[in-house]
Amino acid sequence: MPRFAANLSMLFNEVAFLERFEAAAGAGFKGVECQFPYDFEASEIKARLQHWGLTQVLHNLPVGNWAAGERGIACHPDRVEEFKIGVDQAIAYATELGCSQVNCLAGIAPKGVGADRVRATFVENLKFAADKLKDAGIRLLIEAINTRDIPGFYLCGTEQALDVIRETGSDNIRVQYDVYHMQIMEGDVAHGLEKNITMIQHIQVADNPGRGEPGTGEIDFLYLFKLLDQIGYAGWIGCEYKPVTTTMEGLGWAEQYLKA
């Protein structure tokens, strides 16, 4: 039976962020994830996790100025020191929250920088982060994102992600596979999941088109969830979608899983 985590950056946004933990638990979720916890004290988040019996499944490394359109700095040669500071910050939060994995967004490839240098920067930053995270008992994930929603995003395919992991030589990096992004970039997501499941540590879901909840688009999620059981996926599935109306009104797809 799949284990689902509510992405609190996108779900239950009818209420303030710190109130979303109660909302997630009330809906039946056992785990939560978020993009960035850093606007709040880790102790505040920890208290809510403990009170509502929730597991913090995932959060991202700092990504620069999200409000200004930045979507990660890991491939930027001029932001290496900032990236390293962000790794320390992510470790501090993950340790406090009992979170066993963090995700690294590569970022939009910087203009005017050669492709070889961009890749080398990304690889070296991942090596650095993977080593420090391993010492703290935390897994590093990398996520490919579609270039329709984020033009120029550096990491945009599963094979590219696997190639980068191999180049780092690290045993502490795995793939975060986002079904929505990979349906746009690659299609055939059932095959992609089955082929690469040994390197996939975390999965996120949203339907396409529209990035709404499962059942609002073209993806057969009932089939995918059964497939994940069949192939032995034991990780969390993060619900990182945009509810078509409200989160609660759109949770009918998950009732058989959350109330089981």
Kindly list the catalytic residues. 143, 240
H or E element in which residue 7 lies:
strand 3-7
> What are the residue ranges of helices labelled H in the chain?
20-27, 42-52, 80-97, 115-135, 158-168, 179-185, 189-196, 221-230, 255-258
Task: Give dist(CA 191, CA 33) in Å, integer.
Answer: 26
Give the span between the Cα atoms of 1 and 137, in whole angstroms: 26
Helix H or strand E segment including 236: strand 236-239
User: How many angstroms separate the CA atoms of 173 and 200, rounded?
Assistant: 10
Residues 6+ apart with CB under 8 A from 69: none
Pairing of strands 236-239, 3-7: parallel
How would you label 181-202 residue by residue, b for 16+ Cβ within 10 Å and e otherwise?
bbbbbbeebbebbeebbeebbb
Are the C-beta atoms of 56 and 99 separated by less than 8 Å? yes
Could you tell me which of 137, 135, 209, 139 has the C-alpha nearest to residue 173? Answer: 139
